[in-house]
Chains A and B, each alone.
Chain A
Amino acid sequence: MSTRRSNSIRRSPVLIYLPIAEISVNMLIIVGMGGAVGFLSGLFGIGGGFLLTPLLIFSGIPPVISVATVASQIVASSASGALSYWRRNMIDVKLAAVLLIAGVGGSGIGITVFGALRRLGQLDLIISLAYVTFLGLVGGLMLTESVRAILNAKRGRPAPLRRPGQHIWIHGLPFKMRFKRSKLYVSAVPIVVLGFGIGFLGTLLGIGGGFIMVPALIYLLRVPTNLVIGTSLIYIVGTMSMATILHAMSSQAVDFVLALILMIGGVVGAQFGARIGQNLRGDHLRALLALLILGVGVRFLGGLVTIPDELFSLTVLEGLLP
């Protein structure tokens, strides 16, 4: 059972050692991934965490490191947008504060579940299952909606508009709060549930959750569309900052070097994406994004149902004894 070993010095200037992940990676590939996801996030106006975390996992970075590090990358990619909406006063601060308080709680529970799953050795499985579920659901809904819009536009029919102000089940809930900026008087229950749930998922999966938050604010809470993006961004900056700190303390898997490379690639890529996105039609953009989301979901599903090349895995126990 003799194995071949390379004795040549394989030193290349593009390889960079990640001090927390303790592996050496090709810097160009990481910058490229950060840039590509940044480009898409600029193009589609999304955070991109749900693309970046899977890309890192697929490229061989351990899921724990990927999730924890992308949390900090999301802070960077959302911060410039949040700041710009803040300057233009396009944020409902009170709504964002309520969402954020619930989000911090969700993040705290998320990190506990993350640690427990890791000890049980089921973290990768749950991450994959959650990605399949959410990406499948959101991607499927977006695709049907955008295809319908495209078909309607072809036939020259106007898209059916949902009328705001209709009475839905949400308005029957107790603990009503007034949000002056959004001209809303709604129950705090759905807001807290939303903030908590996305904070929980974001911390567990390494996503900002904008792709759930934005439609929820528009369709469930009927927040005026000009305030939705800014409020969602402020919320994401807050919860993902919390998630980063909690991951740094609990899973100790936030890799500073990896985060820095991803952030630089991401913010630069986003600028180019945003410029190209302005020249594309909204329904086409949404259809493309839906296909992308479904693609990532299918990739996760494939990993779950096909026979793995290696049935066994090793995990070094570092205070992780179950």
Chain B
Amino acid sequence: MRRLATIAGLVGLLTLGNQAWAEQLTVALSTPEIRIGSNFSGVPVTVFGVIEPDAQSASHVGKYEIATLVLGPPESVVARRKDRILGVWANSASEIFLGAPSFYAADSTGEIADLADAEILKRMRLGFDNIGFTYRDRVGRDNPGAAEFREAFLRIKVKEGLYTEQAGGVGMIGKSIFRTTVWIPANAPIGFYQVSVFLLADGELIARAGDSFTIAKTGSEQFLFNFSRNEAFIYGVVCVAMALFIGWLAGVIFRRD
């Protein structure tokens, strides 16, 4: 634990430069790996940690604020808009998002906008407005030309439970222990999930720490998925063989003649 804290502190120092604040953040997760089995229907992940004021230097005067950010593996997504064409609603205009987080959960002790000024929030990618999307056919981040697609993207992701913001989601236990719970829904993509924790006070970022977890299929789910991807032809033949077998079996069991 002590060593982890030192590492976290070091990471914090490196990212912050030579600032005077000496608080250290230690972070831990309830699980390093989420395993998807046949009954997987989503699972909570708890992020908790400790703020350790350094005894040697004066600790910060203001109230501590904590923000946590969980980012799923980046993915490229095409967003399509339906328009009425010859009386029928059909996909027409589209926009391709490059490397957008497949999962996004921002939790904080208070309203995100009150934590720090816009510039700092943007750097932390904290809050839906600060994720910073890039598009294949547009220049720069959050190009205003794709605004309606960006809004639609966020709306759909929120509806699917893959994008969440929880102001007040991070709870403090005493002065220095914090925790929050992030719900990982069943449709969360598999892969590497990055967890970042930010310690703020008086609108300033004074420490940060990170951790990660993975979501992986296990058992037959993993076997079937890999089988279908690596040996697609044989997988297809096996599906057909299963179908023929069940058809034959049904004929034997329910034979009427």
Contact = CB atoms under 8 A, between A and B. Distances in A.
A135 interface: no
Interface in B42-95: 42-44, 75-83, 87-91, 94
A321 to B, nearest CB: 8
Contacts of A15: 39, 41, 186
Contact of A125 (B91, B163, B220): B91
Interface string B215-257: 0010011101100110011011111101110111111001111
Interface stretch (B10-18, B114-122, B152-160, B202-210): B152-160
B167 A2 contact: yes
Interface in A266-322: 267-268, 270-271, 274, 304-308, 310-317, 320-322
B183 interface: yes
B38 interface: yes
B187 interface: yes
Nearest to A11: B41
Interface string B125-164: 0001000000000000000000001001101111101011
Interface size grouping (class) on chain B:
35 or more
A315 B80 CA distance: 8
A17 B228 contact: no
B82 A312 contact: yes
Contacts of B156: 310, 312-314
A17 B36 contact: yes
B187 to A, nearest CB: 6
A73 interface: yes
Nearest to A241: B240
A7 B251 CA distance: 47
Interface of A: 1-3, 5-7, 9-13, 15-17, 19-20, 22-24, 72-73, 75-84, 121-122, 124-125, 129, 237, 241, 244-249, 252, 254, 256-257, 259-260, 263-264, 267-268, 270-271, 274, 304-308, 310-317, 320-322
Given A17-B38, A122-B90, A248-B233, 20 more contacts: A2-B165, A2-B167, A3-B164, A6-B183, A7-B183, A15-B39, A16-B38, A19-B217, A19-B225, A72-B239, A76-B247, A78-B247, A245-B237, A247-B236, A249-B236, A256-B238, A304-B89, A314-B79, A315-B78, A316-B77
Q: Ordered nearest first, which 6 A-B pairs have the shortest CB separation?
A: A79-B247, A248-B236, A312-B152, A80-B251, A245-B236, A75-B243
